[in-house]
């Protein structure tokens, strides 16, 4: 299982614009989440930052990307979501191994995590704390 963080900055849009709401929706439909689990809690990621977890052997992953997912293919998925906004964007994707750490994350309410549907298992994976 590989994990990626993708940062998307829409050119010419403010974070509170409807363009970012469209981006968030598109990114979620592409399999990205705006939450991360840390120390047993679920937190919002900073604006424009998304988490993508590839589950090895997942039929969805194989159907979408085959067995060769990499930062470039994840960036392509993000760019597909960007096109829905009508803006251009700068996109950075990196794969990481190990613990994700950060400061100042806002804790998500339990109801927010329910709407992640397919991502729910990402946050219940005990060895990913």
Instruction: Give the pLDDT confidence of 43-99 residue by residue, as tens digits.
Output: 888 889 999 988 665 555 455 545 456 788 899 999 999 999 999 999 999 987 766
Dihedral, 79, 4, 70, 66 alpha carbons, nearest 10: -90
Q: What band does 112 get if pLDDT is binned at 50, 70 and 90?
A: very low
Exposed, middle or buried by CB within 10 Å (0-12, 13-18, 19+), for 50?
A: buried
CA atoms within 13 A on the CB side of 92: 5
Distance CA 90, CA 78 (A): 10
Taking residues 7-22, report their average pLDDT. Answer: 91
Mind giving me the DSSP string for 17-29?
Answer: SHHHHHHHHHHHH
Number of independent structural domains in the chain:
1
The answer to whether residue 60 sits within a structural domain is yes
Distance CA 10, CA 89 (A): 4
79 Cβ neighbours under 8 A, 6+ residues apart: 89, 91
User: With a threshold of 0.75, does the pTM exceed it?
Assistant: no
Region of poorest pLDDT, from 2-6, 22-26, 57-61, 94-98: 57-61
Distance CA 77, CA 65 (A): 10
CATH of residue 83's domain is 3.30.70
Domain that holds residue 91: 2-124
The answer to whether residue 120 sits within a structural domain is yes
Q: What band does 123 get if pLDDT is binned at 50, 70 and 90?
A: very low
The answer to whether residue 129 sits within a structural domain is no
């Amino acid at each position: 299982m590989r994990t990626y963080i993708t940062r998307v900055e829409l050119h010419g849009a403010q974070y509170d614009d409807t363009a970012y709401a469209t981006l968030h929706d598109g990114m979620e439909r592409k399999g990205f989440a705006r939450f991360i689990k840390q120390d047993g809690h679920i937190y919002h990621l900073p604006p424009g930052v998304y988490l993508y977890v590839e589950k090895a052997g997942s039929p969805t992953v194989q159907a979408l990307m085959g067995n060769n997912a990499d930062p470039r293919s994840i960036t392509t998925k993000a760019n597909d979501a960007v096109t829905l906004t009508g803006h251009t964007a700068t996109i950075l994707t990196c794969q990481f191994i190990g613990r994700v750490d950060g400061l100042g994350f806002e804790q998500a309410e339990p109801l927010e995590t329910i709407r992640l549907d397919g991502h729910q298992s990402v946050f219940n994976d005990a060895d990913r704390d």
